[in-house]
């Protein structure tokens, strides 16, 4: 099992691995296109190590799809839901912020978001924000 410096890096790597399965570019999957929950999880969580059928059923329910339905992994929300579900099943819970997982999914599919930040600046007193702070 791989180790990462941060949870974000781990989720981004998971997203890239799922994307490689989906696109048929994963050597580990024999370059086969794995595009359904059943295909992906049968490779990711083999029956020799997991209750793969229960795993597939739970993820399919979380995603609201049939076990053999093709997923749209290019949609960061779909990928994030899949990654959140995998994490919950593997760990018994998912302690990670959904926003961080979504940013990792966006990074994996090339939709940006991995380096974006939102800052809210609240200035009190007057209509001109420059009145609330001194500039030098």
The predicted model gives 14-30 an average pLDDT of 96
Which one-letter DSSP state was computed for residue 130? G
Q: Within its chain, how far is the Cα of 28 from the centroid?
A: 20
* C-alpha to C-alpha distance for 23 and 29, rounded to whole angstroms: 11
Q: Give the other-Cβ count within 10 Å of 29's Cβ.
A: 19
Distances (CA, A) of 101 to 53, 67, 94: 25, 23, 10
Q: Mean pLDDT for the chain?
A: 86
pTM score > 0.85 for this model? Answer: no
Question: Would the CA dihedral through 1, 91, 49, 69 be positive or negative?
Answer: negative
**Contact partners, residue 99, CB within 8 Å, separation at least 6:** none
Rounded mean pLDDT, 59-82 = 97
Q: How confident is the model at residue 130 (pLDDT cuts 50, 70, 90)?
A: very low
């Amino acid at each position: 099992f791989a180790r990462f410096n941060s949870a974000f890096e781990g989720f981004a790597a998971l997203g890239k691995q799922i994307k490689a399965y989906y696109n048929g570019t994963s050597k580990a999957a024999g370059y086969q296109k794995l595009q359904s929950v059943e295909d992906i999880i049968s490779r990711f969580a083999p029956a020799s190590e997991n209750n793969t059928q229960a795993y597939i059923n739970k993820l399919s329910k979380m995603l609201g799809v049939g076990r053999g339905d093709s997923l749209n992994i290019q949609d960061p929300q779909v990928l994030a839901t899949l990654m959140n579900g995998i994490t919950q099943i593997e760990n018994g819970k998912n302690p990670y912020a959904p926003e961080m997982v979504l940013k990792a999914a966006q990074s994996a599919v090339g939709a940006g978001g991995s380096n974006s930040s939102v800052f809210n600046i609240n200035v009190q007193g007057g209509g001109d924000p420059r009145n609330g702070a001194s500039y030098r």
